[in-house]
């Protein structure tokens, strides 16, 4: 059944947002408000960083969900995918009143029909790639709107950057095939490998979803893909075999063409790289070669849009010296996004960082990148696995992906509302597997375990020392531990 269309004219249109405080929903609220919509919304009472963003556009969500919040004058209701239409009282009331309802992916898809739209997708890297692309696109002065999956420093601490409506670049999510609502003229594909095992039991299942997404491209549509990721290459080949009209633009060390990564170097808080098609160096101050790949992708997309703006076919031919200088400056100034190699600060001689990495491939790459970036620091990693299904399906990979840490803290598996706990896997079983592996490798550790996140605060006050880098990783709530420890050491009270 097709979704109702978002009306073409939004000025003055009353739209209600169910789950308004979510990162994506708050970003969508900004886009709708910029187009003149009159917004209301609801969510839980807990305060999030998005409350300030919503307040800046005049939206103060109701605390809790009640049918009375749905005024008959509302013309459209948009809800977070976390809420069910047959269970949420506001969505039930909207249905009773005959008010059209869209979920977040559907609303994003409707917005994508109005612009020259590019979807950024992949199991890893899509948020950072979107943030990097938006930073470069803004530096090039293109009339574009960008939507990322996290707050971005160069977006003013928001998830959106609104500089015009001709081009629309958005992070698009593979979970439950949500990205199939999007209508792209370009797709940037960072990676494809097993994930979301509760929905995609096999690699073939998730690969098929990405290929289906690529086949949504219009005739002559462009598929920018990472030549160093086997899954992205396989998806690009399958899409091209089904649609020979598609234009493939690879990037990475294994790529042919201008966006081939020729070199990468890192050390003491800076990284540099070179591309085959451009006679200049690019610099980053975020760690890891995987982020240099994201920067390659961002340049490929930004220059593709610049080529479209100038009526050119070749993205590499679009930028002149001034544009290359602007793009390089944007990359050099890029300070990351929330929970993506985010530096909280340094206190007591300890550098505190937080990262959302929750898949073994991303964890391994992030740890390796940080070690190369700050080679003189002992790396203490606090990791919390997310979902029993992912942990069980990739158990051996999780046990090995933390090898690069010098010391480790583990916790219970962060649960998901979409699945029940699995008695066959736990945080304790992962700790035992890691401990056995480290013993076989001759790694001294230590490895600490605390079932609850904040129970580790006391032991870590004694364990951490000047020169360390403390990194919280995962899609759970263990970021709270890093934040608490940073504040403690900043106050000069380590408890020693």
pLDDT value at position 338? 63
Q: Identify the pLDDT of residue 376.
A: 85
pLDDT of residue 3: 47
Name the nearest CA neighbour of 390 among 350, 354, 419. 419
d(CA 222, CA 257): 15
- Quick: pLDDT tens for 302-345: 999 999 999 999 999 999 999 999 999 999 998 766 666 788 88
**pLDDT of the chain along its 496 residues, tens only?**
344 578 888 999 999 999 999 888 999 999 999 999 999 999 999 888 889 999 999 999 999 999 999 999 999 999 998 899 999 999 999 999 999 999 999 999 999 999 999 999 999 889 899 999 999 999 999 999 999 988 888 888 888 999 999 999 999 999 889 999 999 999 999 999 888 878 899 999 999 999 999 999 999 999 999 999 999 999 999 999 999 999 999 999 999 999 999 999 987 778 899 999 999 999 998 877 888 999 999 999 999 999 999 999 999 999 999 999 999 999 999 876 666 678 888 999 999 989 877 888 888 888 988 888 888 899 999 999 988 888 998 899 989 999 999 999 999 998 876 667 888 889 999 999 999 999 999 988 899 999 999 999 999 999 999 999 999 988 888 999 999 999 999 888 655 5
DSSP string, 291-306: HHHHHHHHHHHHHHHH
- Domains of the chain with CATH codes: 14-103 (3.40.50.720), 115-333 (3.40.1190.10), 342-490 (3.90.190.20)
Strand 158-162 versus strand 144-152 pairing type: antiparallel
pLDDT at residue 174, as a whole number = 92
**411: Cα separation from own chain's centroid:** 23
pLDDT at residue number 199: 85
- H/E element holding 71? none
Rounded distance, CA 390 to CA 198, Å? 8
Tally the residues of the chain.
Answer: 496
**What pLDDT does 337 receive?**
61
pTM, 2 dp: 0.79
Cis ω for the linkage preceding 446 (within 30 of 0): yes
Which ranges of 376-478 does DSSP label H, i.e. alpha helix? Answer: 388-393, 395-401, 427-441, 457-463
Strands, DSSP E only, in 155-311?
Answer: 158-162, 167-171, 186-189, 222-226, 247-251, 261-267, 270-275, 281-284
DSSP string covering 345-399, please?
EEETTEEEEEE---SHHHHHHHHHHHHHHSTTSEEEEEE--B-HHHHHHTHHHHH
The pLDDT assigned to 1 comes to: 38
Give the three-state DSSP class for 328.
helix
CA dihedral 475, 478, 482, 483 (to 10 degrees): 90
The DSSP code for 69 is G
Sign of CA dihedral 245, 251, 255, 259: positive
Q: What per-residue confidence (pLDDT) applies to 96? A: 96
**Strand ranges (E), 94-143:** 101-103, 116-121
End-to-end, the C-alpha distance of the chain in Å comes to 62
Q: Are 50 and 74 a contacting pair, CB within 8 Å?
A: no
Q: Are 369 and 193 in contact (CB under 8 A)?
A: no
């Amino acid at each position: 059944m097709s979704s109702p269309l978002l009306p073409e004219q939004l000025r003055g249109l009353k739209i209600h947002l169910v789950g308004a405080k979510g990162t994506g929903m708050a970003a969508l609220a900004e886009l709708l408000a910029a187009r003149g919509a009159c917004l209301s919304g609801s969510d839980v009472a807990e305060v999030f960083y998005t409350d300030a963003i919503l307040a800046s556009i005049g939206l103060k969500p109701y605390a809790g969900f009640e049918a009375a919040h749905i005024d008959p004058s509302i013309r459209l209701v948009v809800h977070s995918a976390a809420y069910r239409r047959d269970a949420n009282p506001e969505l039930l009331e909207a249905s009773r009143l005959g008010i059209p309802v869209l979920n977040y992916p559907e609303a994003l898809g409707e917005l994508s029909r109005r612009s020259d739209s590019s979807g950024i997708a992949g199991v890893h890297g899509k948020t950072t790639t979107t943030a990097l692309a938006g930073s470069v696109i803004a530096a090039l002065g293109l009339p574009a709107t960008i939507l990322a999956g996290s707050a971005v420093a160069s977006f003013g601490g928001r998830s959106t950057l609104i500089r015009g409506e001709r081009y629309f670049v958005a992070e698009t999510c593979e979970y439950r095939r949500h990205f199939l609502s999007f209508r792209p003229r370009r797709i940037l594909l960072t990676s494809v490998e097993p994930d979301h095992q509760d929905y995609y039991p096999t690699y073939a299942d998730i690969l098929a979803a990405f290929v289906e997404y690529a086949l949504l491209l219009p005739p002559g549509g462009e598929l920018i893909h990472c030549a160093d990721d086997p899954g992205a290459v396989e998806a690009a080949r399958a899409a091209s075999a089904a649609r020979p009209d598609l234009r493939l633009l690879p990037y990475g060390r294994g790529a042919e063409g201008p966006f081939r990564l020729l070199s990468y170097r890192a050390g003491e808080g800076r990284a540099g790289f070179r591309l085959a098609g451009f006679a200049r160096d690019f610099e980053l101050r975020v760690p890891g070669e995987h982020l240099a790949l994201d920067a390659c992708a961002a340049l490929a997309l930004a220059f593709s849009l610049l080529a479209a703006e100038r009526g050119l076919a070749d993205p590499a031919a679009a930028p002149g010296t001034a544009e290359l200088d602007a793009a390089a400056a944007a990359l050099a100034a890029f300070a990351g996004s929330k929970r993506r190699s985010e530096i909280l600060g340094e206190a007591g001689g300890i550098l505190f960082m937080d990262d959302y990495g929750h898949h073994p491939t991303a964890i391994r790459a992030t740890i390796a990148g940080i070690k190369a970036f700050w080679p003189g620091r002992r790396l203490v990693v606090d990791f919390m696995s997310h979902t029993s299904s992912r942990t069980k399906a990739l158990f051996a990979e999780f046990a090995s992906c933390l090898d690069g840490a010098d010391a480790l803290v583990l916790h219970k598996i962060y649960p998901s509302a979409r699945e029940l706990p699995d008695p066959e896997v736990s945080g304790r079983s992962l700790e035992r597997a890691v401990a056995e592996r480290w013993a076989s490798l001759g790694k001294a550790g230590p490895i600490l375990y605390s079932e609850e996140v904040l129970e580790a605060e006391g032991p870590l006050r004694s364990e951490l020392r000047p020169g360390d880098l403390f990194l919280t990783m995962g899609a759970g709530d263990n970021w709270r531990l890093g934040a608490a420890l940073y504040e403690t050491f900043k106050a000069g009270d380590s408890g020693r």
